[in-house]
Structure 1
């Protein structure tokens, strides 16, 4: 994430109050009101800021992360669920600790680790660490019903897209046939062999951090997290390798960067072999590879619909409509190859 220093008056009063209250408990902070605010770029749902205070120790500052929830995004996920997930992760040392809350956001521990860049996802060493961490994530025993959310979410987002979309735009995106596509995908991809786990559902590089010293990976931002087929989560991660949200045109996907057959195979072998599992059988790897490929279609529909809705509800400077267009194009292009002519 890029950063540029800004005045603290960017923050609403209740956020500053919550931050000052937090800092007043820290003995090493010189002045709880002397906070420096640095907006972090790359978030597409919330506004995210790094907050720093000078301390009595030379050249060391106290840092936290402030997350202000985006307007209109309740259509995408249940904020209470997301907060429950965050608290669970925090308690199980899976992500940053929760330090405080205010009406439309929260204060999190600032993890002393580096957010990954687009090119990191293609680095074999980093990719291997992500594969092992993702398996650990999928095996978390999250409280609540362990039902698959993917198909209901697609249907809900389709309904929301139809509500906000002008007629011409809905026609251009062929929204009238997407309901059938969702039903067809659900039938074809809901085999009894599907492994269901707790999925992140948005594993792009900006949601993964690495501690350069310990080489430990932390997965952050759980807005979209839910139980789902693990093949869907992996497929979504592979699709994200085509994205770079820190270019002049962050909405453009470059599918030449989608991982090749060898890269995908390696990732899946490491994924299946981690968590103390025995060496996976070739048939097991092949089956997962096939499932992951088919689930890329569900990923394209998910983020295509997300783009259409975001165009109408989100203020962040990002060409959501063009992004949606690419995801739908990719869906229609890959569909015959992955599912036959049905």
Structure 2
């Protein structure tokens, strides 16, 4: 997804239908926050809101040009270099702010779940700031004021994660919480301090997220491959049938086929996307991948730069500088998808601060040599994968993996392309979702020519 602008602030959106403020609660999210990647609940949110407000209300966008003084207006371009009026109001980049309601709820959660010194100061002294870089949830760093002494061993800083799903299912939240706790227990993820329906409180780990360009650095690529191999080697108490990939694609496709858009700029882009005959293309993709062997392992499913922490407390010479985070998409799935999806993410920079709030660089896709380097590091870590194999057999394994990974990369483009179309309808985040969808499907067809 990876596929969004990052969780770097809150915005007020205006309804295209009425030009009056549209609260996030009107969009099926009672916590009044920006929404990004989510796994489910989109159709329910759409149907609920269309029944109440009509089909156009769910297209939550701010009016173009009205908010921008004439002397500051500029013609924005989409990811394909075309003029795009949708981006005019964002010519100065994203905006960051935390509304009073979010601050109040964050204070209450920290006070009730962390206790200790967190109960010894008033809301006005509460420290909270936006953490940039997440693609699936809203992230905030919450801190005890410096002048307040600790009472016990309570953490002085925590990461507050507020789920980005519009109507996240109870079952998926339970599964994710169980998964998070297990990974924390195995020291593969941050500690868990509190869980509640809207989100959770996690250990804050001094770190920074990787930059897109760093995915290609050999020392970091080596460790990512090792971390992924270890992840794939875990045995987890979840359904081990690989239903996630095409179950998610089919669900997204069903939702896309029900969408209607009101804004002319969206109607035009949506029509162009639907001219790609996506339903038939989905069938073609499934047939191709059914004929492409790939082991079923426990996959992260979203190993992109924003979900990889570079730990700041580690020795510079250490081989353990990275930590994978954000496991909400994790499931038993095909190995080829997890690695192929990671390779796709080499091309997309979601920290770009101008419309459409991502930068697409196709020639950053890993070369054959970079792919082989990653594969060899992965195989050397994955238990038993190289035992008793000759050089010729090993070369064939690597060649087969090249094909496997690059074919499953097609599924990454397809899945996040559909996801982005839906988000263009439902999300109030500042991001060029329609442009991103077109970018991913363009990449899909280019990749298909090479590996299908």
Query: What TM-score, normalized by structure 1, do the two folds share?
Result: 0.88
Written as runs of structure 1 = structure 2, the 5 A alignment for 1:269-284 is 269-277=376-384, 278=386, 281-284=394-397
Q: 1:40 aligns with which of 110, 131, 141?
A: 131
- Indicate the residue corresponding to 1:209 in structure 2: 309
Written as runs of structure 1 = structure 2, the 5 A alignment for 1:1-342 is 9=100, 11=102, 13-26=104-117, 31=121, 33=123, 34-53=125-144, 54=146, 56=149, 62-72=156-166, 74=168, 78-148=172-242, 149-166=244-261, 170-174=270-274, 177-191=277-291, 193-212=293-312, 213=314, 214=318, 215-249=320-354, 250-277=357-384, 278=386, 281-339=394-452
Contact 1:20 1:32 (C-alpha < 8 Å) held by counterparts: no
CA–CA distance in 2 between the matches of 1:175 and 1:141? 42
Q: Cα distance 1:237–1:7, how it changes in 2: closer, same or farther (>3 A)? A: closer
- Deviation of residue 286 (structure 1)? 0.9
Aligned residue pairs: how many? 334
Contact 2:134 2:307 (C-alpha < 8 Å) held by counterparts: no
CA–CA distance in 2 between the matches of 1:271 and 1:73? 36
Contact 2:7 2:138 (C-alpha < 8 Å) held by counterparts: no
CA–CA distance in 1 between the matches of 2:367 and 2:190? 33
CA–CA distance in 2 between the matches of 1:233 and 1:175? 29
List runs of 5+ in structure 1 lacking aligned partners.
none
- Indicate the residue corresponding to 2:78 in structure 1: none
Q: Cα distance 1:143–1:14, how it changes in 2: closer, same or farther (>3 A)? A: same
- Deviation of residue 8 (structure 1)? 8.1
The structure whose RCO (Cα within 8 Å, separation 6+) is larger is 2
Q: Cα distance 1:197–1:276, how it changes in 2: closer, same or farther (>3 A)? A: closer
CA–CA distance in 1 between the matches of 2:308 and 2:277? 35
Name the larger-Rg structure. Answer: 2
RMSD: 2.8
Greater mean alpha carbon deviation, residues 234-243 or residues 246-255: 246-255
CA–CA distance in 2 between the matches of 1:49 and 1:41? 8
